[in-house]
Amino acid sequence: MTDTLTPVLTKNWDADRAWTLASYEQGGGYGALKKALKMAQDDVVTAVKDSGLRGRGGAGFPTGMKWGFIPQDNPNPKYLVVNADESEPGTCKDIPLMMASPHTLVEGVIISSYAIRANTAFIYVRGEVLHVIRRLQAAVEEAYKAGHLGKNIHGSGYDLDLIVHAGAGAYICGEETALLDSLEGRRGQPRLRPPFPAVAGLYASPTVINNVESIASVPSIIEHGADWFASMGTEKSKGYVIYSLSGHVKTPGQFEAPLGITLRELIDLGGGMREGHELKFWTPGGSSTPILTAEHLDIPLDYEAVGAAGSMLGTRALQIFDETTCVVRAVLRWTEFYKHESCGKCTPCREGTWWLVQTLNALEHGQGQESDLDLLLDQCENILGRSFCALGDGATSPITSSIEYFRDEYVAHLTHGGCPFDPAASTLFARTLGSTPGAGTDKGQVGVTA
């Protein structure tokens, strides 16, 4: 039986000057690199396959299998690209990881690049995180000086260059093929697949794109072994992950645990819901994953169980909302986000997200009619699965799921002639404003089902 929390990636975040090479090496850092460089490259791929590591960026695709798709007989250079464009609303794990321990990622990049035989790697980090970029730049510079990067790394004959590349503000660049276009100096718009990046990715060459947390998990697998990693988690969801708890809990934060912990356990670890309030709805893995409610508190948070509950594990971005929150307001805001971030390439997403905002906005302000709910569902149906990438699909998730669980609350906006909630009651500083949280709302009359 493994412990409730299992810090591996987060273990050194409280170390003195954790971001420096000296601190990282003092904790055993770069030991896995030296071990990996003595292994055959295929054995590194096999270890990652055997560990059961699945992509931590949301989709959950087996990482080792992705590496195995790289055609080694392709004469073009191979590339590793780290997706550090963490932008999915609610997701906040990669940024603290790169801030506190950038060398964990850099070591993972070197081992992973070695495994797929890439001699150039990139960390594509969103541009809006200045201090994280500083720490990454400094870590890469230190790694070059220490001989972990560059020519003939530690006498192995293996060469690797690593480039830290700052993006410029576009959610869509977290989508892997849009990220590649962006990294080629173009507008970040998704590509049609096939061909998949493993065959024709960056510069039309074989490319592996992995999330920060996936790559950062690789050194621990090499150091402790695939069996060790697979001893944590559930049957098909192996290993440890970072769960990010935010919103109306007493102590939001990062919790590293084996896959399969429940939200009830995590909220307990976070000190419970804020005083005097109860859970209303939550996202398991960012705003693109259908919302869930208090009836889902005991679902194991792994890929399979969350999927079976009608949502997706995504990035374990657990945004927690209590009964003071208007679900229509929350969903409208997410929808405005998707409309803003739609890259415009595919008509169903570009036009559809615009129409979703129009319809939802009217409902939130009590100006629609009940048949608008069916109109919304119809609009969603015309977006879902009809574009190159999943952005439009994600836009439909909060809408369809909130109508499923909170249809009465939508209707209440119409009977009330507007939003029946007091937004001040849901703020972090509700008490300091002198108002009693929940006071002034007639939430009791809107059939909140939490």
Partner 1 sequence: MSENTGIDEKTYGELREIADRYPHARSGLLPMLHLVQSAEGSVTPEGIEACAEILGISAAEVSGVATFYTMYKRRTVGDYHVGVCTNTLCAVMGGDQIFAELKDHLGVGNDETTEDGKITLEHVECNAACDFAPVVMVNWEFMDNQTPESAKQLVDDLRSGTEVSSTRGARLCTWREAERVLAGFPDGRADEGPAAGPASLVGLELARENGWKAPEK
Q: Considering the rule CB under 8 A, would residue 11 count as an interface residue with partner 1?
A: yes
Q: What does each C-alpha distance from 313 to 55, 74, 306 come to in angstroms?
A: 11, 35, 6
Q: Considering the rule CB under 8 A, would residue 431 count as an interface residue with partner 1?
A: no
Q: What is the DSSP letter of 150?
A: B
Q: Considering the rule CB under 8 A, would residue 310 count as an interface residue with partner 1?
A: no
Number of residues that make up the chain: 450
Binding partner 1 (rule: CB under 8 A), the pick from 49, 264, 333, 416 is 333
Measured from the CB of residue 72, what is the shortest distance to partner 1 in angstroms?
19
Residue pair 167/74 in contact (Cβ under 8 Å)? The answer is no
Taking the least distance from each CB to partner 1, the nearer of 65 and 230 is: 230
Distance CA 168, CA 162 (A): 19
Binding partner 1 (rule: CB under 8 A), the pick from 52, 188, 201, 300 is 188
- Write the binding mask 79 to 118 for partner 1: x where contact by CB under 8 A, - elsewhere: -------xxxxxxx-xxx--xxx-----------------
Binding partner 1 (rule: CB under 8 A), the pick from 35, 49, 154, 329 is 329
Q: Considering the rule CB under 8 A, would residue 141 count as an interface residue with partner 1?
A: yes
Amino acid, res. 121: A
| Tokens, residue 20 | 């420096």
Continuous H helices in 84-160: 94-100, 102-116, 130-145
Binding partner 1 (rule: CB under 8 A), the pick from 112, 210, 289, 325 is 325
Binding partner 1 (rule: CB under 8 A), the pick from 186, 193, 236, 431 is 186
Measured from the CB of residue 429, what is the shortest distance to partner 1 in angstroms?
5
Contact set for partner 1, span 54-73 (CB under 8 A):
none
**340 exposed, middle or buried (CB, 10 Å; 0-12, 13-18, 19+)?**
exposed
Taking the least distance from each CB to partner 1, the nearer of 23 and 382 is: 23
Q: Considering the rule CB under 8 A, would residue 240 count as an interface residue with partner 1?
A: yes
| Tokens, residue 205 | 């060459």
Taking the least distance from each CB to partner 1, the nearer of 226 and 374 is: 226
Q: Considering the rule CB under 8 A, would residue 317 count as an interface residue with partner 1?
A: yes
Residue pair 56/211 in contact (Cβ under 8 Å)? The answer is yes
Residue pair 304/237 in contact (Cβ under 8 Å)? The answer is yes
Distance CA 256, CA 93 (A): 10
Q: Considering the rule CB under 8 A, would residue 308 count as an interface residue with partner 1?
A: no
Phi, psi (degrees; rounded to nearest 5) at 331? -70, -40
Residue 67 C-beta-side C-alpha neighbours within 13 Å: 31
Q: Considering the rule CB under 8 A, would residue 429 count as an interface residue with partner 1?
A: yes
Contact set for partner 1, span 286-305 (CB under 8 A):
287
Binding partner 1 (rule: CB under 8 A), the pick from 57, 260, 270, 420 is 270
Phi, psi (degrees; rounded to nearest 5) at 406? -130, 35
Q: Considering the rule CB under 8 A, would residue 424 count as an interface residue with partner 1?
A: yes
Measured from the CB of residue 189, what is the shortest distance to partner 1 in angstroms?
8
SS3 of residue 17 by DSSP:
coil
Q: Which stretch binds partner 1 (CB under 8 A): 65-73, 302-310, 387-395, 419-427?
A: 419-427
Distance CA 306, CA 288 (A): 13
| # binding residues, partner 1 (CB under 8 A) | 100
Contact set for partner 1, span 334-393 (CB under 8 A):
334, 337, 340-341, 343
Q: Considering the rule CB under 8 A, would residue 171 count as an interface residue with partner 1?
A: yes
Q: Which stretch binds partner 1 (CB under 8 A): 4-12, 30-38, 106-114, 191-199?
A: 4-12
Taking the least distance from each CB to partner 1, the nearer of 270 and 368 is: 270
Binding partner 1 (rule: CB under 8 A), the pick from 183, 241, 346, 384 is 183
Residue pair 25/105 in contact (Cβ under 8 Å)? The answer is no
Binding partner 1 (rule: CB under 8 A), the pick from 29, 57, 233, 247 is 247
Q: Which helix (H) or strand (E) holds 427?
A: none
Q: Which stretch binds partner 1 (CB under 8 A): 120-128, 303-311, 402-410, 441-449?
A: 120-128
Closest Cα partner for 177 from 154, 201, 143, 156? 201
SS3 of residue 295 by DSSP:
helix
Taking the least distance from each CB to partner 1, the nearer of 184 and 442 is: 184
SS3 of residue 181 by DSSP:
helix
